């Protein structure tokens, strides 16, 4: 164990000095649930963390590809964490986001890591916190987190991102469903992608009218974009740069961070499997199990 820790320390030192290989290895360790003691970011330079979320198939990855290009032109170093679900049955995952991010493979100033949920949404958000911190410490100025938002899990992105873009597409209207989950209010900007196809305008109007029922001052703007044709992307980036998050969202953020940390504590407990077994056999109750794990 002690040996392992010194090994991690060396990796960390080398990653902080700019080794891409060792940064990548550290991310794997964090993903596996290992504790990596990342020093607090003491410099005044803070990374900008952008969350991209929305239903499957609306073009999030293509849009991320455009954002990478946009920031690259500004001379920024961009890191992307692209999260895809893994099969709960086999644990396997097909991570295909890179296919739609041509700009991702084109240089030393872009780092893209695909992550699977490993059938464990709580787990991934917990390690995400450390991953983002590590990327930030290693000098990645702009960090994008891309997740498939469905139901409750998408709110997690609030815990990590400074700014959130919610993406929807024509003929979906899923976002109106998402309204119930609250993400629509938490977004800084709502983007209706594929603006070149019929139906996009109507979806944008529907979302706008749904938003008009809530407090208008802090409801997000709705913007039509075509990631495929690269129209509206510059405007989107301008809007997101100057958008101001409402204060109440900071509270939600702290709350979500607490929940993530809590999940992390539970899931990384050495007694987790034993507790699950004991609950299964009926020798302890759920509450007992929780007490043991949170001790």
Summarize as ranges the residues that interact with other proteins (CB under 8 A): 20-21, 24-25, 27-28, 86-87, 90-96, 98-100, 102, 105-106, 111-114, 116
- Which residue number, 15 or 178, has a Cβ lying nearer to other proteins? 15
Which one, 27 or 187, has the nearer CB to other proteins? Answer: 27
Q: Measured from the CB atom, is 130 or 195 closer to other proteins?
A: 130
CB of 209 to other proteins, least distance (A): 38
Measured from the CB atom, the residue of 140 and 160 that comes closer to other proteins is 140
Q: Find the shortest distance in angstroms from Cβ 112 to other proteins.
A: 6
Which residue bears the tokens 């101001």? 244
Contact 30, 130 (CB under 8 A): yes
Q: Compute the least distance from the CB of residue 20 to other proteins, in Å.
A: 6
Residue for token pair 């100025």: 141
φ/ψ of 230, rounded to 5, equals 60, 40
Q: Which CB, 12 or 186, lies closer to other proteins?
A: 12
The nearest distance, CB 23 to other proteins, in angstroms, is 9
Residues 6+ apart with CB under 8 A from 187: 164, 165, 166, 220
Rg (CA), the chain: 20
Query: In the bound complex, what is the minimum distance in angstroms from residue 27's beta carbon to other proteins?
Result: 7
Reported for 173-178, long-range contacts at CB under 8 A and 24+ positions apart, including other chains, are 173/203, 173/206, 174/54, 174/55, 174/58, 175/54, 175/55, 175/203, 175/207, 176/206, 176/207, 176/210, 178/55, 178/149, 178/154
């Amino acid at each position: 164990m002690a040996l392992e820790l010194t090994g991690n320390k060396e990796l960390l030192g080398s990653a902080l000095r700019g080794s891409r290989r060792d940064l990548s290895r550290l991310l794997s360790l964090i993903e596996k649930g290992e504790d990596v003691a990342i020093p607090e970011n003491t410099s005044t330079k803070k990374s900008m963390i952008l969350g991209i979320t929305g239903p499957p198939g609306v073009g999030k990855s293509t849009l991320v590809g455009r954002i990478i290009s946009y920031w690259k032109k500004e001379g920024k170093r961009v890191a992307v964490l692209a999260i895809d679900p893994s099969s709960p049955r086999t644990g396997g995952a097909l991570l295909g986001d890179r296919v739609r991010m041509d700009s991702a493979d084109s240089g030393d100033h872009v780092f893209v890591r695909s992550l699977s949920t490993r059938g464990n949404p709580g787990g991934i958000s917990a390690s995400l916190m450390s991953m983002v911190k590590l990327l930030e410490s290693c000098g990645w100025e702009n960090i994008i987190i891309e997740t498939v938002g469905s139901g409750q899990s998408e709110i997690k992105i609030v815990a990590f991102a400074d700014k959130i873009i919610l993406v929807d597409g024509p003929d979906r209207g899923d976002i109106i469903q998402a309204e119930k989950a609250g993400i629509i209010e938490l977004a800084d900007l709502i983007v209706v992608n594929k603006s070149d196809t019929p139906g996009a305008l109507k979806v944008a109007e529907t979302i706008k009218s749904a938003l008009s029922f809530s407090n208008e001052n802090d409801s997000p703007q709705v913007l039509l974009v075509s990631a495929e044709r690269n129209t509206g992307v510059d405007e989107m980036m301008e809007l997101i740069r100057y958008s101001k998050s409402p204060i109440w969202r900071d509270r939600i953020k702290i709350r979500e961070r607490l929940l993530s940390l809590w999940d992390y504590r539970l899931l990384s407990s050495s007694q987790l499997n034993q507790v699950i077994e004991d609950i299964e056999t009926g020798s302890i109750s759920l509450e007992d199990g929780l007490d043991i794990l949170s001790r």
